[in-house]
């Protein structure tokens, strides 16, 4: 099979698997991306994601990860919602879950497709192949731009003129020397929509992210007590944040996701805060079976739900919040205390403090009780 024939066959296979775009780039050192990564880490903007600094050398170049690789096939999987997720932010009694987490874990969905394509390539050519979906030390966003799939927007995510901001990317690295596509250029222009909409000012400058201020990082990756300055801006967001993606003007060209495994499950669309506050570990695992939310764990998730409850203005949630004041997890207890101070009348809050504060041993929870 000729190189042109193989490239056409790969594109056909990608389309058959349901991918919405595919691009190819030859692998080479990328000093610019490596420098940006080094700056990001040196400024501490990766927060507690120590795996980024631990793998910095390998992450700096695909060739550092796999020296024998010659080409990257980058594929895009559309997951665009059928409604604007920003409309859900006003539903204060209901939880807002990031669009990408409303059904199956995309890592599993996309990786399965990539493996089938990679196995076919290996069978047809005898070449070595490896698949990547956001879990290995590979900077896939710069690869996507060099492969012509999209460009890295001012919100640091990849944007496509055809798919907008709503797509996942996965990569197949191979020892084959494939003909590259034309790299995509930047089409953000003077637009600042994604920067200006961020509720926590997580973008120090265009094309720069401080993860420590990002609601997605705080609700998903961060394991500690969420700083007070970010709790009110979180609103009803209990897992992730889509604001900077949702306002991108290029979304007007996006169509709703075709992959059924990535379409929202009805029970995960705006679940009530009241129902989520009742979740024990077993119920949590059952509700979020197969979802990326399950990996976060019940305690971190309930921590987030309690912040949303505190922002809800709904005092009917107080009995459920009171039950969580004695939760085994200190992060949960701390946010239950915060929610009490937000919702309860002063006399009620003081009564709860008198009841629960004397037996509390965690310094962070005690600090929450002392901050009225």
**Catalytic residue numbers, as ranges:** 134
Taking the C-alpha atoms of residue 122 and residue 116, their distance in angstroms, rounded to an integer, is 10
Task: Give me the helices (H) in 45-166, please.
Answer: 50-54, 56-59, 62-65, 106-125, 140-146
How far apart are the C-alpha atoms of 121 and 139, rounded to whole Å?
Answer: 23
Q: Which residues of 320-344 are buried (b: 16+ CB within 10 A; e: fewer)?
A: bbbebbebebbbbbbbbbbbbbbbb
Contact 337, 355 (CB under 8 A): no
Tokens of residue 347, six digits:
């006399």
Q: Is 19:111 a contact under the CB 8 Å cutoff? A: no
Residue pointed to by tokens 């999987």: 77
Angle at alpha carbon of residue 61, lines to 133 and 80, rounded to 5°: 30
Assigned token pair, 134 = 């956001």
Secondary structure (3-state) at 118: helix
> How many residues appear in the chain?
372
Segments in the chain forming alpha helices (H):
3-16, 31-42, 50-54, 56-59, 62-65, 106-125, 140-146, 193-197, 215-216, 228-234, 243-246, 273-277, 281-287, 293-296, 298-312, 318-324, 330-343, 346-356, 363-370
Q: What is the 3-state secondary structure (H, E, C) of 207-270?
A: CECCHHHCHHHHHHHCCCCCCHHHHHHHCCEEECCCHHHHCCHHHHHCCCCCCHHHCCCHHHCC
């Amino acid at each position: 099979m000729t190189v042109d024939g193989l490239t056409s066959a790969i594109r056909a296979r990608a389309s058959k698997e349901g991918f919405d775009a595919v691009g190819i780039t030859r692998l080479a050192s990328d000093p610019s991306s490596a420098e940006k990564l080094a700056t990001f880490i040196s400024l501490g903007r990766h927060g507690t994601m120590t795996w980024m600094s631990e793998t910095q050398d390998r992450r700096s170049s695909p060739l550092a990860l796999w020296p024998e690789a010659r080409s990257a096939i980058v594929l895009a999987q559309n997951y665009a919602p059928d409604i604007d997720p920003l409309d859900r932010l006003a539903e204060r009694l209901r939880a807002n879950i990031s669009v990408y987490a409303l059904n199956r874990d995309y890592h599993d969905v996309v990786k399965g497709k990539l493996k089938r394509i990679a196995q076919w390539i290996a069978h047809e050519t005898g070449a070595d192949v490896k698949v990547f979906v956001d879990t290995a030390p590979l900077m896939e966003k710069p690869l996507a731009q060099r492969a012509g799939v999209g460009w890295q927007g001012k919100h640091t995510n990849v944007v496509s003129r055809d798919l907008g901001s709503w797509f996942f990317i996965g990569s197949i690295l191979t020892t084959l020397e494939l003909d590259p596509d034309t790299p995509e250029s930047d089409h953000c222009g003077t637009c600042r929509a994604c920067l200006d909409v961020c509720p926590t000012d997580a973008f120090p400058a265009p094309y720069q992210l401080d993860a420590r201020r990002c609601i997605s990082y705080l609700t998903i990756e961060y394991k500690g007590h969420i700083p007070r300055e970010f709790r009110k801006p979180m609103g009803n967001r209990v897992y992730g944040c889509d604001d900077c993606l949702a306002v991108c003007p290029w979304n007007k060209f996006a169509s709703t996701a075709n992959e059924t495994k990535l379409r929202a499950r009805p029970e995960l669309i705006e679940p009530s805060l009241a129902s989520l506050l009742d979740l024990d570990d077993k119920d949590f695992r059952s509700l979020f079976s197969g979802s990326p939310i399950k990996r976060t764990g019940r305690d971190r998730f309930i921590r987030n739900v309690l912040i949303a409850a505190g922002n809800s203005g709904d005092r009917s949630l107080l009995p459920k919040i009171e039950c969580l004041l004695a939760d085994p997890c200190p992060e949960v207890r701390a946010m239950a205390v915060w929610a009490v101070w937000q919702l309860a009348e002063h006399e009620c809050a003081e009564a709860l403090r008198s009841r629960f504060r004397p037996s509390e041993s965690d310094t962070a929870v005690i600090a929450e009780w002392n901050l009225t």
